[in-house]
Amino acid sequence: MYIPFDQLPPQARVWIYQASRPLTEVEQTEIKPALERFATEWSSHGKGLQSSAELLHGRFLVLANNEEAGAASGCSIDASVRFVRELEQQYKLSFMDRTQLAFLNEGEVRLVSMPELKSKVAAGEINRDTLYFDTLINNYGELQQAWPRSAGSSWLSRYF
């Protein structure tokens, strides 16, 4: 069962997938109905999930499920990954590359590869206050309150 993204409870579980490139306006317009359709049909053991999906910042695909109404099972999570993989193929991009980190710089989402991170920190291009899109957060409340968050308050704090 689809629930509007802005009506999710704070404890709803989220999965964040970061696109390897910005999505065009046309791509976003095409993807949004597919996200709603997926969330409407998403189920666990034959029972519909109270779920939602959204594109944020033209780059992040967020799937969400209100686990108080019904938890996502391994099979339903596998179905969500298949859905994301289909989008990857259709739009010739990656949503699964975890070696790229996304930062907000001058109002624009910019990617930095893991191997580049230390040199960017050393050069002062990334610091504790740089806004970081932490794709490891797992609930809607945190997404709403602290996303993006300062790099120093994320798992990246060890680099400063």
Mean residue pLDDT of the chain comes to 93
Instruction: Check pLDDT > 90 for residue 78.
Output: no
Both tokens assigned to 116? 């580049």
For residue range 14-58, list pLDDT tens digits in order.
999 999 999 999 999 999 999 999 999 887 777 778 899 999 999
Q: Phi/psi zone of residue 140: left (φ > 0), alpha (ψ -120 to 50 degrees), beta?
A: alpha
User: What residue spans define the domains of the chain?
Assistant: 9-91, 100-134+148-159
For residue range 94-106, list pLDDT tens digits in order.
999 999 999 999 8
* pTM of this structure: 0.91
Which residue in the block uniquely carries the two structure tokens 């050393």? 122
Residue 119 carries which side chain, given as an amino acid letter? S
Asked if 21 contacts 80 with a C-beta cutoff of 8 angstroms, the reply is: no
For residue range 80-132, list pLDDT tens digits in order.
999 999 999 999 999 999 999 999 998 999 999 999 999 999 999 999 999 99
Both tokens assigned to 8? 């999710």
